[in-house]
Amino acid sequence: MNRSLSFEIFRYAAILTIVALSLVPTLWMASMAFKPIAEWSATGADLTWWPKSPTLDNFRFLFGESSSDLIVALDRTAARPILASLLSAVFGTLIAMVAGTSAAYGLSRFGSGGNLPLALIQLRIFPPMAVMIPVMIMWAFLDLIDTWYGLALVYGIVTMPFAFWLMKTFFDDMPREIEDAALVEGCSRLRVFWKITLPMMRPALASSALFVFILNWSDYLIGLLLTTRDWVTIPVYMASLSSSMTGQLYGAKAALGLIAAIPPVVLGIAIQKHLVRGLTFGALKQ
């Protein structure tokens, strides 16, 4: 066996090992979601990887159906938090992508803005609590506390720097000659941006939007501070799943975690044909 073949075998074995280890928490969560309370509250030798008596009770419990094993009643089901997370994450991503893409294109093509890139990234440098205290005061004054649109607006503002920096990199890597040719033919700058630049940026837009959506979807701190009851998000609602009698409701939390994993996975599958191109855009530029 030559050295190159040995190296390839070792490389693939290492990759498979890393992938398997990274999947362990996901597999454990999926297993826990289908276990009855007697199994997910077990300890020591009674704790098993796979459910001995698979059940959907944890999912039913989340949506208001009572369980004979869980001596606790939910004061609210998981339906509203799932809707709140979807609305706030989707519209927050839309706000971030529109604002970030527009700013990135202007700065990449016209070179104006002065210290704008540094000013934008400073939004992520400040400690979150230092930023959220004045935001809470303003949102309370504007009556935006515990609303999905108030949450979406903050998500859009907070994640806009990521969209800006990602899209600026993609715009910098895109050849300007195509746009210049369209301008010479009589197209306006706005028409060039809408009809030529954005279609070419489809892979970059897809990968950036997925990254921003995951940030918004998984947020806990902002949702905790800006919601109280009606529009709490999935992470905030998940933290409340506990009982004084049974302790942490690990089965219900695992079931909700499995549900929460669906939108990012579905979105990633939907844009997979653009995702690889977007992540490697400009990688071969000399």
For residue 185, what is the domain's CATH number?
Answer: 1.10.3720.10
**Sequence-distant (≥ 6) Cβ neighbours of residue 240 within 8 angstroms:** 232
- Token pair 């000399």 in the structure block, residue: 286
242 within some domain: yes
pLDDT of residue 223: 92
Q: Are 25 and 92 members of one domain?
A: no
Q: 86 and 218 share a domain?
A: yes
pLDDT of 244 reads 57
Residue 127 Rama label (left phi>0; alpha psi -120 to 50; beta): beta
Interval 189-198: pLDDT, tens: 888 888 888 8
Query: Is the pLDDT assigned to residue 72 strictly greater than 70?
Result: no
On the question of pLDDT at 212 being above 80, the answer is yes
Model pLDDT, residue 260: 93
Q: Cα(64)–Cα(81) distance, rounded to whole angstroms? A: 13
CB 19 within 8 A of CB 5: no
C-alpha 235/C-alpha 206 separation (Å) is: 25
Q: Report the C-alpha dihedral over residues 183, 189, 191, 192, rounded to 10 degrees.
A: 60
**Do 91 and 219 fall within a single domain?**
yes
What is the distance between the alpha carbons of residues 259 and 34, in angstroms, rounded to a whole number?
A: 12
Would you say residue 257 has pLDDT above 70?
yes
The answer to whether 35 and 51 are in contact (CB under 8 A) is yes
Q: What is the pLDDT of residues 261-275, one digit of tens each?
A: 999 999 888 887 776
Q: Which of 15, 30, 63 is the last residue of a domain?
A: 63
| Statement to judge: residues 14 and 141 lie in one domain | no
Average pLDDT score, the chain: 83
Residue 252 CA from chain centroid, whole number: 21
Per-residue pLDDT at 42: 65
Residue 238 counted as domain residue: yes
Q: Does 69 fall in a domain?
A: no
Q: What pTM did the predictor assign?
A: 0.85
What is residue 179's predicted lDDT score, i.e. its pLDDT? 83
Residue 84 has pLDDT above 90, yes or no: yes
Q: Report yes or no: 176 and 186 within 8 Å, Cβ to Cβ.
A: no
- Tell whether the model's pLDDT for residue 146 goes beyond 80: yes
Q: Are 203 and 274 in contact (CB under 8 A)?
A: yes
pLDDT confidence band for 277 (50 / 70 / 90) = low
- What is the share, in percent, of the chain residues with pLDDT greater than 70? 85
Q: Are residues 148 and 52 in the same domain?
A: no
Specify the pLDDT at position 286.
Answer: 42
Measured distance CA(94)–CA(226) in Å, rounded? 20
- Is the same domain home to 217 and 119? yes
Q: Which domain holds residue 103?
A: 78-284
- State yes or no: pLDDT of 39 exceeds 80: no
Contact 104, 164 (CB under 8 A): yes
Our count of domains for the chain comes to 2
Residues 145 and 262 in one domain: yes
Q: How far is CA 245 from CA 69, 71, 75, 76, in A?
A: 12, 8, 16, 18
CA 226 to CA 61: how far, in whole Å? 26
Whole-number Å distance between alpha carbons of 22 and 145: 37
Domain presence at residue 22: yes
Residue 68: inside a domain? no
Clarify whether residues 38 and 84 are in a common domain: no
Do 47 and 140 lie in one domain? The reply is no
CA 23 to chain centre: 18
Can you tell me the mean pLDDT for 126-136? 83
Has residue 117 got a pLDDT over 80? no
Q: What is the mean pLDDT of residues 104-129?
A: 75
Lowest-confidence region among 22-26, 83-87, 175-179? 175-179
Does 180 map to a domain?
yes
Same domain, 164 and 39: no
Q: What is the dihedral of CA 224, 229, 233, 239, to 10 degrees?
A: 60
92 lies in a domain? yes
* Tally of CA atoms within 13 A in the half-sphere of 38 that contains its CB: 6
Q: What is the pLDDT of residue 283?
A: 47
Looking at the structure, do residues 59 and 156 belong to the same domain, yes or no? no
H-type helices in the chain, by residue range?
3-33, 37-40, 57-62, 79-110, 116-125, 128-141, 148-173, 177-184, 189-192, 198-200, 202-217, 221-226, 234-239, 250-260, 262-270, 272-279
Q: Looking at residue 166, what is its pLDDT? A: 86
Mean pLDDT of 44-57: 77
Q: Is the dihedral of CA 60, 64, 66, 69 positive or negative?
A: positive
**Joined tokens for residue 211:** 């990254």
In a domain, 29, yes or no: yes
Q: Sorting pLDDT into bands at 50, 70 and 90, what band is 232?
A: very high
> Is residue 92 domain-shared with residue 214, that is, in the same domain?
yes
Backbone angles phi, psi at 136, to 5 degrees: -60, -40
